[in-house]
Amino acid sequence: MAKFLRPESFSAATEDLSLLPFNFERTGANQYLVANMVGDFVHLSEEELNRLVDLQVRPGDGLYEKAYAAHLVTGANQKAQRQLLAARLRSRMSFLQHTTPLHIFVVTLRCEHSCPYCQVSRQSTDRSRFDMSEQTAMRALDVAFGSPMARIKIEFQGGEPLLNFPLIKKIVAAAKQRPGKKLDFVIASNLALLDDAVLEFCKDNNVLLSTSLDGPSDLHNKNRPRPSANSHELAVAGIKRARETLGPDRVGALMTTTEASLERVDEIIGEYLRLGLDGIFLRPLSPFGFAVKTKQYAKYDAQKWLAFYERGLRRILEINRQGTPFREFYAALLLTRMLSDRPIGYVDLRSPAGAGLGALVYNYDGSVFASDEGRMLAETGDDTFRLGHVEHDSYSSLILSDKLIGAISSSLTQCAPECSTCVFESHCGADPVYHHATQGDALGIKPLSAFCARQKGIMGLLLDILERSPEDAAILRRWAAA
Amino acid sequence: MTLPLYGTASQSAGFFSDKPRSVLRLRSVDSAAERLAADFAIVRTPDDIRRAIEADWPSVLVISDSSIDLPGTFNGRLAVVPPKYDYLADGDVIGFDHASRKFRTLFRRNSAHNSFLVTERCNNYCLMCSQPPKNVDDRWLLGEIKESLPLIDPAIRALTFTGGETLSDWEDFIAVLKECRDRLPATAVQVLTNGRAFADSRIVDAWKDIGHPNLMAGIPVYASIDYVHDHVVQARGAFDETILGILKLKDRGQRVEIRVVLHALTAPIIEDTGRWIARNLPFVDHVALMGLENTGFAIANDAMLWMDPVDYSSGLARAVDHLSAAGVNVSVYNLPRCILPKSVWPHALQSISDWKNGFVEECDRCDAKTSCSGFFTTGRPRFSRGIQAITAG
Ligand code: SF4
Ligand code: SF4
pLDDT of chain A along its 482 residues, tens only?
A: 558 898 888 887 667 899 999 999 999 999 999 999 999 999 999 999 999 999 999 999 999 999 999 999 999 999 999 999 999 999 999 999 999 999 999 999 988 777 766 656 666 666 678 899 999 999 999 999 999 999 999 999 988 999 999 999 999 999 999 998 999 999 999 898 999 999 999 999 999 999 999 999 999 998 888 888 888 999 999 999 999 999 988 999 999 888 888 899 999 999 999 999 999 999 887 665 444 554 445 445 788 899 999 999 999 999 999 999 999 999 999 999 999 999 988 888 999 999 999 999 999 999 999 999 899 889 888 999 999 999 999 999 999 999 999 999 999 999 999 999 999 999 999 999 999 988 899 999 999 899 999 999 999 999 999 999 999 999 999 998 87
Q: Is B172 in the pocket of ligand 2 (CB under 6 A)?
A: no
The answer to whether the CB of B325 falls within 8 A of the CB of B278 is yes
pLDDT tens per residue across span B172-203:
999 999 999 999 999 999 999 999 999 999 99
A203 and A272, same domain (yes or no): yes
A333 and A312, same domain (yes or no): yes
Any domain includes A245: yes
Cβ contact B247–A481 (<8 Å):
no
Nearest CB to B227; choose among A59, A88, A478: A59
Could you say which of A43, A74, A92 is where a domain stops? A92
SS3 call for B253: coil
- Percent of chain B's residues with pLDDT above 90: 75
A121 and A191, same domain (yes or no): yes
- Which candidate in A4, A16, A337 is best for mutational testing of the B interface (most B CBs within 10 A)? A4
A87 and A103, same domain (yes or no): no
Q: Which of B2-6, B18-22, B95-99, B324-328 shows the lowest mean pLDDT across its residues?
A: B2-6
Given a cut of 90, whether residue B159 has pLDDT beyond it is yes
Strand order across the A386-389 sheet: A251-254, A207-212, A182-188, A151-157, A102-106, A359-362, A367-369, A386-389
Range of the domain at A317: 99-399
Q: How far apart, in whole angstroms, are the C-alpha atoms of residue B89 and residue B110?
A: 8
Q: How far is the CA of A422 from the centre of ligand 1 (A)?
A: 6
Domains B6-107 and B115-376 share a fold: no
Cβ contact B301–A477 (<8 Å):
no
Any domain includes A291: yes
A47 and A143, same domain (yes or no): no
Cβ contact A69–B244 (<8 Å):
no
Closest chain A C-alpha to B226 CA, distance in angstroms: 8
Any domain includes A2: no
Any domain includes A416: no
**ipTM entry:** 0.90
Q: Evaluate the omega torsion of the peptide bond into residue B211 and state whether it is cis, within 30 degrees of 0.
A: no
Give domain limits for chain B. 6-107, 115-376
Q: How far apart, in whole angstroms, are the C-alpha atoms of residue A213 and residue A252?
A: 9
Check residues B255 and A296 and name the one with the higher pLDDT: B255
A67 and A182, same domain (yes or no): no
The answer to whether the CB of B109 falls within 8 A of the CB of B219 is no
Phi-psi region of B237 (alpha: psi -120 to 50; beta: other; left: phi over 0): left
**pLDDT of the residue at B260:** 97
Give the Cβ contact number of residue A206 at 10 Å. Answer: 12
Q: How far apart, in whole angstroms, are the C-alpha atoms of residue A449 and residue A98?
A: 29
**pLDDT of the residue at A21:** 97
**How many domains does chain A contain in total?**
2
Given a cut of 60, whether residue B220 has pLDDT beyond it is yes
**pLDDT of the residue at A117:** 63
A38 and A63, same domain (yes or no): yes
Any domain includes A293: yes
Quote the longest CA-to-CA distance of chain A. 94
Any domain includes A210: yes
Nearest CB to B325; choose among A79, A87, A481: A481
Ligand 1 atom, smallest distance to A456 CA: 3
Torsion B154-B156-B157-B163 (CA) sign: negative
**pLDDT of the residue at A290:** 46
CATH of the domain spanning B6-107: 3.50.30
- Protein residue with its CA nearest to atom 4 in ligand 1: A428
Cβ contact A341–B234 (<8 Å):
no
Residue of A nearest to B275 (CA): A69
Q: How far apart, in whole angstroms, are the C-alpha atoms of residue B84 and residue B79?
A: 15
Q: How far apart, in whole angstroms, are the C-alpha atoms of residue B310 and residue A104?
A: 58
Q: Evaluate the omega torsion of the peptide bond into residue A159 and state whether it is cis, within 30 degrees of 0.
A: yes
Give the Cβ contact number of residue A440 at 10 Å. Answer: 10
Q: How far apart, in whole angstroms, are the C-alpha atoms of residue B146 and residue B162?
A: 15
Could you say which of A399, A424, A439 is where a domain stops? A399
Which phi and psi angles does B357 have, rounded to 5°? Answer: -115, 135
Q: Is B87 in the pocket of ligand 2 (CB under 6 A)?
A: no
Any domain includes A422: no
Q: Which residues in chain A have Cβ-Cβ distances shorter than 8 Å to B280? A: 84, 88
E strands along A334-429, which residues? Answer: 359-362, 367-369, 386-389
**pLDDT of the residue at A125:** 63
Q: How many CA atoms are closer than 13 Å to the CA of A455, on its beta-carbon side? A: 24
What is the bridge-based pairing of β-strands A102-106 and A151-157?
parallel
The CATH number assigned to the domain holding A356 equals: 3.20.20.70
A235 and A368, same domain (yes or no): yes
Q: Write the CA distances from A464 to A99, A460, A467, A469, B224, integer angstroms.
A: 35, 6, 5, 8, 25
The answer to whether the CB of A353 falls within 8 A of the CB of A411 is yes
**pLDDT of the residue at A215:** 93
Q: How far apart, in whole angstroms, are the C-alpha atoms of residue A69 and residue B282?
A: 15
A83 and A115, same domain (yes or no): no
Q: How far apart, in whole angstroms, are the C-alpha atoms of residue A77 and residue A71?
A: 14
pLDDT tens per residue across span B4-47:
898 999 989 888 878 899 999 999 999 999 999 999 999 998 89
Which phi and psi angles does A208 have, rounded to 5°? Answer: -80, 150
The answer to whether the CB of A69 falls within 8 A of the CB of B227 is no
Nearest CA-CA partner of A31 in A44, A21, A41: A44
Nearest CA-CA partner of A422 in A430, A431, A413: A413
The residues, any chain, with a CB within 8 Å of residue A458's CB and separated by 6 or more, are A306, A309, A330, A331, A334
Cβ contact B326–A88 (<8 Å):
no
Tell me the CATH number of domain B115-376, given options 3.30.950.10, 3.40.50.2300, 3.20.20.70, 2.60.40.1080.
3.20.20.70
A296 and A345, same domain (yes or no): yes
Nearest CA-CA partner of A419 in A352, A471, A480, A467: A352
Any domain includes A450: no
E strands along A355-416, which residues? Answer: 359-362, 367-369, 386-389
**pLDDT of the residue at A287:** 64
Cβ contact A340–B231 (<8 Å):
no
The residues, any chain, with a CB within 8 Å of residue A62's CB and separated by 6 or more, are none
A47 and A122, same domain (yes or no): no
**pLDDT of the residue at A123:** 64
If interface means Cβ-Cβ distance under 8 Å, which residues of chain B face chain A? 125, 127, 132, 199, 224-228, 230-231, 234, 236-237, 239-244, 247, 250-251, 272, 276, 279-282, 297, 300-301, 325-327
Q: How far is the CA of A455 from the centre of ligand 1 (A)?
A: 7
| B241 band by pLDDT with thresholds 50, 70 and 90 | very high
Cβ contact B301–A83 (<8 Å):
no
| B143 band by pLDDT with thresholds 50, 70 and 90 | very high
Give the Cβ contact number of residue B206 at 10 Å. Answer: 19
Amino acid at B316: L
pTM: 0.91
**pLDDT of the residue at B192:** 97
Rg (C-alpha) for chain B, rounded Å, is 23
**pLDDT of the residue at B68:** 75
Could you say which of A381, A399, A417 is where a domain stops? A399
A202 and A294, same domain (yes or no): yes
Nearest CB to A88; choose among B228, B280, B326: B280
Q: Evaluate the omega torsion of the peptide bond into residue A352 and state whether it is cis, within 30 degrees of 0.
A: yes
**pLDDT of the residue at A8:** 84
Q: Which of B342, B361, B372, B383 to mutate to test the pocket of ligand 2 (most atoms within 8 A of CB)?
A: B372
- The single-letter DSSP state of residue A283 is P
